[in-house]
Amino acid sequence: MHQRVAVERDLSAIGDHLAENGLKVERLDLTDMTPERLQDYGAIVVSGQTTNFMGMEDLKARLPVIEAAGKTAEEITSMVKERLQLQL
């Protein structure tokens, strides 16, 4: 199971909460990322401000992409942990 989570750089409070809950967080400017590099992570958390961000809809079958819009840090942490468990 990948414990590394990519978090969009603008979501620092969410990244902090994920790290406090035992996950390895890397804050990234996801516009510079390639789909191949994103495969190194167990999940990706994005702000949700961009539709089909970098073609991530194509990645959803293999990699959880969690949209943070309208969710609390606790909700996102729960979603990430649940999806990481499903990958076992």
Residue 52 has pLDDT above 90, yes or no: no
Q: What is the reported pTM? A: 0.80
pLDDT band per the 50, 70, 90 thresholds, residue 19: very high
Which H or E run includes 14? helix 12-20
31/46: higher pLDDT: 46
**In a 3-state reduction of DSSP, which class is residue 86?**
helix
pLDDT (average), residues 6-25: 94
CATH 3.40.1280.10 is the classification of domain 4-86: no
**pLDDT score recorded for residue 56:** 52
Give the integer Cα–Cα distance in Å for 11 and 72. Answer: 11
**Token pair for residue 47?**
């702000």
Least confident of 14-18, 51-55, 60-64, 65-69: 51-55
